[in-house]
Structure 1
Amino acid sequence: MRYFGLFFFLLINFSAIYAQPHHIDSLKFINSAAPIPDHPRILLLAGEENNIKKAILVQRILSEVHKQILLKCDSMLLTKPVERILFGVRLLAKSRECLNRVFHLSYAWRMTHERKYLNRAEQELLAVSNFSDWNPDHYLDVTEMTMAVAIGYDWLYHDLSEKSRSIIKEAIKKKGIATSFDPAYPNYRKWLSVTNNWNQVCNAGRSFGALAVYEDDPALAEKVINRTIASIQIAMIDNGPDGAFAEGYTYWSYGTTFNVMFLNAIEKVFKTDFGLNKIPGFLKTAAYLENMIGPTGKNFNYSDASETSTLQPAMFWFASKLEDPLLLWNERIFLTKEKLAQNTDRLLPALMLWGQNIDIEKISAPKNRIWTGAGKNPVALIRSSWTDPNAIFVGIKGGSPSVTHGHMDAGSFVLEADGIRWAKDFGFQEYTALELKNIDLWANKQNGQRWEIFRYNNFSHNTLTFNDSLQRVDGYAPITNYSENLHFTNAVTDISSIYKGQVKKAQRGIALMDGQYVVVSDEIENLNKDTKVRWVMLTSAKVKLNGNQAELIQNGKKLIISIPNSADISIKTWTTNPPHDYDDPNPDTTLVGFETVIPAGKKETFQVFLIPGSGKIKATNPLPPLKDWPK
């Protein structure tokens, strides 16, 4: 019980911990007198591979995953060991490749005892252990390399030569762990007090190193792990209250997965999670990720995210922990033989650890048609069906550009229908290319250079712009209400503070009507001046204009954009050609929408109907005011 007492003490004193990261080093959680398991001790204890072997015999999909891992390992045998080559300021690609190889090869050795896998894993471990360093100037590089080498050292410990063990152990201690205590490196402690993925990833990697060499220096190992238990809460709390991850889909895949790797590792060794799983919102974040994916298989890629969705091994940990296999509806799809063959996840072997007791082929569809989450970047995700590939899916977000990896996209939405993503988001632009051109990518203050990047400001997102101005970085848009009403499923966000000084008040509601079509309703109260408003939607479809209507055509399917109750408004298009030479090109995309002027002091409502070709529209009468929408 003392673990839980300490945990709640930390919650009460969270602000002090956050403000003073050095205080974290003095906190104690681990019982120093308690014995820890012999190697292997990280994630998969000695003999536990036998449980996986049994599962493979009866679970067809797990058997396919196992075969895919071995095929990847066989292809690795034909390559050279990882080399220390930086791309820009990063060694990260090489660290990730090392983690990919060592985790797969170590798994293959434990499952098959074919010496080719052991020998090659040892080569990889020795190659990176002899690097001059693991690039502590960009600390994620050190983190992923430390995790890679720790897994290999631990899982292969009794089969490595004594000389190899010595070299690898020293690399973990000096190139991995020691750098996190060395003030010579500018980022050596910053990740301890941030709420973003750096906290989760860096803490996890360092702790894997500590667990691997625990018996060699128990005091150091305990210091690292105690520090992680205290620090990682700062990031985990950020999932509250409902599980919405502030940084979006792609960084959920990164930060949350490493968070889960750490939680699973300490539970194996210490037989407790030290109360971390009770942090409000953390276990709920699996439902967030599941609902983020539409019928096309693409995700709602707001912030610095790619719209490509991938298999998430961490979802198997959540499904097992919560005893809720419905969370794996999308993962079941990603595990079809064709999609699995395309998988490049460096942590794929973890799926075998966490999914061994789940009958994947019997997973059924979730029941909810709307999911909402508050927090720093609130989101609402609505769909007409989980099983119909032509279903309507619409997601809308509030939030703030100030969140880590955030864009000026409060009020933005995506839309799918008839198997097509009609309203889309560009997502992120690759960082290194921008940094090499000396773009201050991370300057996210109001006049920061980040907002000059075309893909990051509100001019390229499916939201509103007033008088050609940027959204306010210090603004915040909450989801104010929502409804699961079958005929009027909706969510509303108050985006007023995002446009502070531009309009007096602004609200956006989005509704799925009878599961057939979508309406975007904007209510704007103007200041005492004429204000130009621009409404846009990004699409890859071909656009045909016709007054206050537009016909979108893509892959032989159609969607109508209509503003039926505003006959004086004409729909138009804008180019997506980038304004700067450092912006990525945006081929085959168009911004479609309208511009109009709101007179000084007036209130205006704009209702845009988005009607797929399969939609059966009986009428396009105005919807009631947002205050009267079902709740």
Structure 2
Amino acid sequence: MRIFFLSLTLCLLLPGARVVAQAPQPGPVLANMPIPAHPRLLLLKGEEELIRQHLEQQLPLRSTHQAILAECDKLITEPCLQRVLTGRRLLSVARECLRREFYLSYAWRITGQAKYRVRAEQELLAVAAFSDWNPSHFLDVAELTMGVALGYDWLYAELPEASRRIIRNALVQKGLQPSFDAKHNDWLQKSNNWNQVCNAGMVFGALAIYEDQPTLASAVLNRAIHTVPLAMQAYAPDGAYPEGYGYWAYGTSYNVLLINALEKCFGRDFGLATQPGFLKTADYFLHMAGPSGQPFNYSDCEPTSTLQPAMYWFAARLHRPELLWHEQAWLRAASPSQFAHNPLLPTLLLWSSSLSGAAVKPPGATTWVGRGPNPVALLRTSWTAPGAIFLGLKAGSPSVNHGHMDVGSFVFEADGVRWGLDLGVQSYESLESKGVQIWGAQRWSVFRYSTPAHSTLVLNNQPQAVQGYAPLISYSDQPGFLSAIADLRQLYPPLRVAQRGVAIVDQRYAIVRDELATTAAAATVRWAMLTAATVKLRSAQEAELRQDGKTLRLIVQAPATITLKTWSTAPPAAYDAPNPGTTLVGFEVVLPPATRSGLTVLLLPGSAGAPPTGPLPTLAEWPRRAVGATRR
């Protein structure tokens, strides 16, 4: 195994060097291990009966099952997939292949209706006939390989030998072999979702053809077991996923699929599930959504949330039904047909079987703080009150994968309204099609990625330092004072001190407190909150925000000499996406040379009543618990 990975590493370092599928040899981790007969991916032969039993017992599961069947009936009437690129990507086709194969194969195994099997085979043959699976954007190959492998495995006994051969050859030639080409496999050395998704797709492909290509399959599996921990290191130590809420759903879901596939076939996870922070990440995802259901969508993430089947795997693994608090709310409030766009929806039915009858009670903790490359603090007053206060603070660095210049930004909810928000991602294709290089220095010219687009500080009209890093340095979980403090100094090199604290006080209101110290030069600081509310400036230091019939008072307590104003979020460049219905409200202040200053803003919901009297506490007066050592 050491020889194989040394060869692979050398080839990755040599320009133009290539590793072909014939080179790898089976490694020691999986050498000569028995493997179940088909079907072997996620759902072994005979396990369908347990799902059928739970469908009879639980209405939410039965409704989800029926939604999958209804979607399959629609798919049968549609044309088979074609190899149509969107820009440089085949990803939409790959994802639809996975969805179709998962849904149709599931429907066949649970109902036994031949129409689903026949259509699944047609889709498999159509995709197998593609000229290639677009290895230049290897996520496409990974998702196509997973979809084709799943269909091949779940339909194996009923597939004609001629179809098996065509599909198997496609898995090998268009899926697995390209993963040993150094032009396409730099994801092996990445610590982000590409590593997780690509390794998962290759593992599914390898398990599907294991008996026919044991040397190739063993090499793929051993490689995944040795390389996916590089991406999983990002969860340490507390489970905060650096790429944010939306990419958690992507990378973590595929990581879970990889682990579950290995466990089903070999009865062990080879230590992957116990990688530091991985099992803790379910709490991160649980706390990331506010009472409105909207997530803290920092980085390249959408401002919406949806059902996540991977949480059922975590809940079952950890014996913690409360992790399904949001998932159960989704199933109660929405029609399962709304989730039919999710390629992985059938896993909800696979992974929920061991949770039959378990009561989902409200989670206990109202504070969650996670360290790591992109630390985050999440505070709330209640899990059950619709009007509860929710406050999230992001620390970390713009340099993380999919990062924005949003360090120190926050989101704020109260009275059922998201008052302080994040614009989130702009479509990559909308930028790349206009020639914008969003994975390099030009990234920071995109408005949504820039510092002024976020609820944080702008210093001297300059962007945050890309390589700067802000740790969370303390927090409080006292019910009367939930808080977190981050040290932002590295993001603003001209300052000697830059700390931001956010707090929920007396379960009624929030404060945002910044403490700054200048060097020998003066500094101009802009404080702003991004909002979708209508803003009315009541005085130099108070603004009234209105949204959905509710009100919020934004009161600047310090410094006393500012004048509140608003800024437009209209796109400054032709390639920027519009941001309708949003505005920035805040103030600017000039800090004299060699001085220390404090900025204190009170966010008072309409339900909170009168504002507090007297000055609000400085950061030194906040109750504190140490967050612990930080890491990048």
Give the structure 2 partner of residue 376 of structure 1: 373
* Residue identity in the other structure for 1:36: I
Give the structure 2 partner of residue 454 of structure 1: 447
Give the structure 2 partner of residue 389 of structure 1: 386
Q: Could you say what secondary structure the match of 1:277 adopts?
A: coil
Give the structure 2 partner of residue 3 of structure 1: none
TM-superposition CA deviations, 1:63-96 (whole Å, max 9, x none): 1111111111111111111111100000000000
Give the distance between the partners of 2:611 and 2:563, measured in 1 at CA.
Answer: 23
Shift of 1:20: 9.7
Q: Judging changes above 3 Å, is the alpha-carbon distance between structure 1 residues 375 and 229 closer, same or farther for their aligned structure 2 residues? A: same
Shift of 1:514: 1.0
Give the distance between the partners of 1:105 and 1:178, measured in 2 at CA.
Answer: 27
Shift of 1:61: 1.2
Give the distance between the partners of 2:255 and 2:497, measured in 1 at CA.
Answer: 39
Q: Judging changes above 3 Å, is the alpha-carbon distance between structure 1 residues 194 and 609 closer, same or farther for their aligned structure 2 residues? A: same
Shift of 1:534: 0.1
Give the structure 2 partner of residue 89 of structure 1: 88
Is the CA contact 1:106–1:121 (under 8 Å) kept in the aligned structure 2? yes
Which runs of 5 or more structure 2 residues have no equivalent in the other structure?
14-18, 625-632
- 4+ residue segments displaced more than 3 Å: 14-31
The CA RMSD measured in Å over matched residues stands at 2.0
Give the distance between the partners of 2:132 and 2:490, measured in 1 at CA.
Answer: 46
Give the distance between the partners of 1:617 and 1:217, measured in 2 at CA.
Answer: 72
* Residue identity in the other structure for 1:394: L
Q: Could you say what secondary structure the match of 2:503 adopts?
A: strand
Matched, 1:364 2:400: no
Task: State, as a whole percentage, how many aligned pairs show the same letter.
Answer: 50
Instruction: State the TM-score, normalized to the length of structure 2.
Output: 0.94
Give the structure 1 partner of residue 166 of structure 2: 167
Is the CA contact 1:517–1:617 (under 8 Å) kept in the aligned structure 2? no
Matched, 1:409 2:402: no
Shift of 1:622: 2.4
Matched, 1:316 2:312: yes
Matched, 1:544 2:536: yes
Give the distance between the partners of 1:625 and 1:337, measured in 2 at CA.
Answer: 42
Q: Judging changes above 3 Å, is the alpha-carbon distance between structure 1 residues 600 and 367 closer, same or farther for their aligned structure 2 residues? A: same
Give the distance between the partners of 2:562 and 2:11, measured in 1 at CA.
Answer: 55
Give the structure 2 partner of residue 602 of structure 1: 595
TM-superposition CA deviations, 1:360-414 (whole Å, max 9, x none): 7721110111000000000000001000111110100100000000000000000
Give the structure 2 partner of residue 113 of structure 1: 112
Give the structure 2 partner of residue 518 of structure 1: 510
Matched, 1:276 2:285: no
TM-superposition CA deviations, 1:576-604 (whole Å, max 9, x none): 11110000011111000000100011110
Is the CA contact 1:503–1:525 (under 8 Å) kept in the aligned structure 2? yes
Q: Could you say what secondary structure the match of 1:585 adopts?
A: coil
Q: Judging changes above 3 Å, is the alpha-carbon distance between structure 1 residues 541 and 29 closer, same or farther for their aligned structure 2 residues? A: farther
Give the structure 2 partner of residue 124 of structure 1: 123
* Residue identity in the other structure for 2:268: T
Shift of 1:33: 2.4
Is the CA contact 2:26–2:215 (under 8 Å) kept in the aligned structure 1? no
Shift of 1:336: 2.2
Q: Which segment is superposed worse, 350-359 or 475-484?
A: 350-359
Is the CA contact 2:558–2:598 (under 8 Å) kept in the aligned structure 1? no
Q: Judging changes above 3 Å, is the alpha-carbon distance between structure 1 residues 369 and 567 closer, same or farther for their aligned structure 2 residues? A: same
Matched, 1:474 2:467: yes
1:221-370 alignment runs, 5 A limit: 221-336=217-332, 338-343=334-339, 344-359=341-356, 362-370=359-367
Give the distance between the partners of 2:24 and 2:588, measured in 1 at CA.
Answer: 56
Shift of 1:527: 1.3
Shift of 1:615: 1.1
Is the CA contact 1:548–1:566 (under 8 Å) kept in the aligned structure 2? no
Give the distance between the partners of 1:246 and 1:29, measured in 2 at CA.
Answer: 32
Give the distance between the partners of 1:60 and 1:461, measured in 2 at CA.
Answer: 42
Shift of 1:237: 1.3
Q: Judging changes above 3 Å, is the alpha-carbon distance between structure 1 residues 127 and 57 closer, same or farther for their aligned structure 2 residues? A: same
1:132-151 alignment runs, 5 A limit: 132-151=131-150
Q: Judging changes above 3 Å, is the alpha-carbon distance between structure 1 residues 130 and 360 closer, same or farther for their aligned structure 2 residues? A: farther
Is the CA contact 1:383–1:394 (under 8 Å) kept in the aligned structure 2? yes
Give the distance between the partners of 1:305 and 1:335, measured in 2 at CA.
Answer: 23
Q: Judging changes above 3 Å, is the alpha-carbon distance between structure 1 residues 16 and 181 closer, same or farther for their aligned structure 2 residues? A: closer
Shift of 1:317: 0.5
1:207-222 alignment runs, 5 A limit: 207-222=203-218
Give the structure 2 partner of residue 569 of structure 1: 562
* Residue identity in the other structure for 1:575: S
Is the CA contact 1:575–1:590 (under 8 Å) kept in the aligned structure 2? yes
Is the CA contact 1:399–1:478 (under 8 Å) kept in the aligned structure 2? yes
Is the CA contact 1:69–1:104 (under 8 Å) kept in the aligned structure 2? yes
Matched, 1:625 2:604: no
* Counterpart selection for 1:433 from 430, 434, 438: 430
Matched, 1:582 2:578: no
Is the CA contact 1:61–1:361 (under 8 Å) kept in the aligned structure 2? no
Q: Could you say what secondary structure the match of 1:226 adopts?
A: helix
1:487-502 alignment runs, 5 A limit: 487-500=480-493, 502=494
Shift of 1:29: 4.5
Give the distance between the partners of 1:16 and 1:408, measured in 2 at CA.
Answer: 39
Give the distance between the partners of 2:554 and 2:431, measured in 1 at CA.
Answer: 35
Give the distance between the partners of 1:251 and 1:15, measured in 2 at CA.
Answer: 31
Give the distance between the partners of 2:94 and 2:379, measured in 1 at CA.
Answer: 38
Q: Judging changes above 3 Å, is the alpha-carbon distance between structure 1 residues 556 and 361 closer, same or farther for their aligned structure 2 residues? A: farther
Q: Could you say what secondary structure the match of 2:355 adopts?
A: coil
Give the distance between the partners of 2:204 and 2:463, measured in 1 at CA.
Answer: 43
* Residue identity in the other structure for 1:364: K
Is the CA contact 2:24–2:215 (under 8 Å) kept in the aligned structure 1? no
Shift of 1:618: 5.3
